Each structure stands twice: as C-alpha cells, then as structure tokens.
Amino acid sequence: MSKKIKLGILGGGGDSLIGVLHRVASFINDNYQIVGAVFNPNFEDNMAFAKQIDIPTDRIYKDFDTLIEEELKLPKEDRIQVCSVLTPNFLHFPMVKKLLENGFNVICEKPMTTTYEEAKILQATMEKSKTVFALTHTYTGYPMVRQMREMVKAGAIGKVHKVDASYYQGWINPIIHDKEKRASTWRLDPKKAGISCCIADIGVHAFNMIEYTTGLRIKSILADFNYVYDDNPMDVDGTVLVRMDKHVKGLIRSSQIATGEENGLSIAIYGDKGGLRWEQESPNQLFVLSDDKPLQVYKPGHGYNSELSLGGTKLPPGHPEGIFDAMANIYLGVARAVRGEAYNDGEFPTMLDGVRGMDFIESTVASNKQGNVWVDLH
C-alpha cells in the first residue's frame, strides 16, 4: 500500500495558477497523492476539473464542510492527512481553523488570514492541536534563500546592521490608470480584498524574506503608501522603514506600479563582516560581498552550500531549477514533519510567520493612516 501522504485541496481549480503551482509541487518529490478536494465552489466545475486533471472523483466534495464531515467518517489511515488551502483570502481563516480543530495538517497560501486577530486565534488553535501548519511563502523554498539564512546564522556576514528588501511589480499599471478598470477590479475593493492591496499581497513577502533570512524580528515600522488616484482606496505602492532595534535598520519597498517589472522580489543584507544579495528572477545566484575580497557568486548544488540549501536541489550545478521546485521543497519539508521524520528548521514557513505577517500588514496600514508614524509590532 502506498505510503504517499494523502493530500486534500481546497480551491485552485479552473485556470488558477496557484492551483498548478501547489499541485505540481506536491508531485515533485514523490510524497503526495491527491485524494480529496473542493477545487471550486460550484460542484459541476469542481467535478469537471477533477476529471480534467485526472483525479479520482469519489472524494471530490460539494463543499468544505462536507469534506470535513465525510473525511472524518473514514478510518484515520485513509483520511486526508494534509489539506492545502488555496481559496480566496477571506476563507483562509474559517477553513484553516476548522481543519486544525479536526486534526488535519494544513498548507495555507498567504496571507494567512485577513486580520492579525484571526491569525492569533489560528495560532492558539494550532497550539491546542497536534498538527503541522505551513504557510507558503514560496520564495523561502529556493536553495539560495535557504543558503542565505544558514550563512547569516553561521555568522558569515557578522552582525547584521542593514537590510533592504523589495518586491516590485508593474501588473496593476494598466488598471490603475484607467478609471473604469480601477473601480471594477476586486483587488482594489476593500470589501473584497481586505485592508491592503500591495502590502498584503507582496510587501509581506519581502517582510517575511527579511525575518526568514536574518532570523531577526522587525520591531517597528513606518509606512508610506501611494494610491496614485484620489478615488482609489487601496495601496498599490508602499515603502516601509523598518527597525530591528535602534541600530539595525532597513526598509521594505513594494510596488504594483513599477511599470514593466515582473516579479522583482529581492533582498540585500549587510553585516559588519560582509553582505548578501539575492533576486528572485535569477534565483540560482547568491552574491556574497566583502570589504576586501572578490565578489563571490554561490550557486545551488555545490558542496560548499549548507545542508538546508543542498536538500532543496535535485540536479547537479548548472541545471536551473525554478519556482515549482522551490514550492516542492516546502511540500517536502511538510511531508517530513507530517511523517515525524527529522527536518531542519527553515524547511517551511510556520504559523509564526503567518502571525508576524498579519501583524506587519496591520501595522503598516495603521502607520500610513496615522500620517506615517512609527508603529510597533506586537
């Protein structure tokens, strides 16, 4: 009998790109099989999609509650073990909560919830359960991001004194400058998209990248948003000054109006002994800087990398792996955790990352609203 982990999927049907990303990631390391799902709220679409991707349809449920109900009727060994939550943001909280309460392990897309309060509730729920929870800050799955984390931890750049992370995209440009379009896209409607657009969607990735790679906590922030038009109620661009402490500062830059930029997540970390720079669009290069030695370019798969990094590479150096492989690395870490195998800290982002992220989003919105003042995170 297969020892593959039984995977359930919520959302991600139809043309969903995030659905493809998670599904492929689950396959890559031979660890998961999809056994149940609610891909779409509409049952017909749901079934059609299951057929399209050739998943057995016996456990394609009409809705989330039915999934829970029916799965719980199954003997434990047949039941969904991990459920991936890829639904619209506002559904993350109720779904994850119920999943955790019923003992399902969860892989959740970000943002984890729509409020910090919800995030804290999920955290408490998880602590009471004995479940594994992973938040898919996908970019932490790249081998060179993992290498950054391990190098900082090992002291390769000394004491960190400056960070600069950015996430620049330009996709909203053709929308924001068109009065009709900006009034009609759900992404710019606070009722549908929550309190923030740019910061919640991408700024939070840059925030997470800083905390993931440096191991430090951001203590306070000062944010300035750009709405571009008076009739637009949502941030499409935001710069955030951050402080780890009085003498460790940095910034987070995020934009959806950086016209022509595609998926420009980047991070630079400077310490008293060296610096590190990485860019998502060239994920297989990590630049290692020093005062007086030649610039070094680390690449995946070489023996000089850390165990955490090497664990995320499947082929020898020079064979580019990409974002599907990064996400697959997160799924691999979760598989190990679910199976009770040993795994390294850093193999997947956790509930704490989710709580921190929501704290960050709410704090930046507050800072901007109050006139760009410093706001402490919890």
Residues 49-78 touching a copy of itself, rule: CB under 8 A, are 51-54, 56
Residues 164, 211, 347, 362: which binds a copy of itself (CB under 8 A)? 164
Considering the rule CB under 8 A, would residue 89 count as an interface residue with a copy of itself? no
50 closest CA partner among 63, 67, 32, 38: 38
Nearer residue to a copy of itself within complex by CB, 106 or 151: 151
Residues 271, 311, 349, 354: which binds a copy of itself (CB under 8 A)? 271
Within 310-339, which residues bind a copy of itself (CB under 8 A)? 314-325
To a copy of itself, the closest distance from the beta carbon of 128 in angstroms equals 32
Within 343-372, which residues bind a copy of itself (CB under 8 A)? 372
Considering the rule CB under 8 A, would residue 282 count as an interface residue with a copy of itself? yes
Start-to-end C-alpha separation, the chain? 47
Sheet of strand 32-38, all strands in order from the earlier edge strand to the far edge = 32-38, 5-10, 82-85, 105-108, 133-135
Whole-angstrom distance, CA of residue 188 vs CA of residue 181: 10
Q: How many residues bind a copy of itself (CB under 8 A)?
A: 93
267 closest CA partner among 173, 174, 137, 375: 137
Span interacting with a copy of itself, options 64-72, 91-99, 204-212, 233-241, rule CB under 8 A:
233-241
**Which residue's entry shows tokens 């943001």?**
89
Nearer residue to a copy of itself within complex by CB, 298 or 348: 298
Binding string, residues 241-270; x marks residues near a copy of itself by CB under 8 A = x-----x-x-x-x-x-xxxxxxxx---x-x
32 closest CA partner among 12, 8, 13: 8
Within 196-215, which residues bind a copy of itself (CB under 8 A)? none
Considering the rule CB under 8 A, would residue 27 count as an interface residue with a copy of itself? yes
To a copy of itself, the closest distance from the beta carbon of 338 in angstroms equals 14
HSE at residue 238, side-chain half, CA atoms within 13 A, is 33
User: What is 161-188 written as a DSSP string?
Assistant: EEEEEEEE--TTHHHHTSHHHHHH-GGG
Distance of CA 317 to the CA centre of its chain: 26
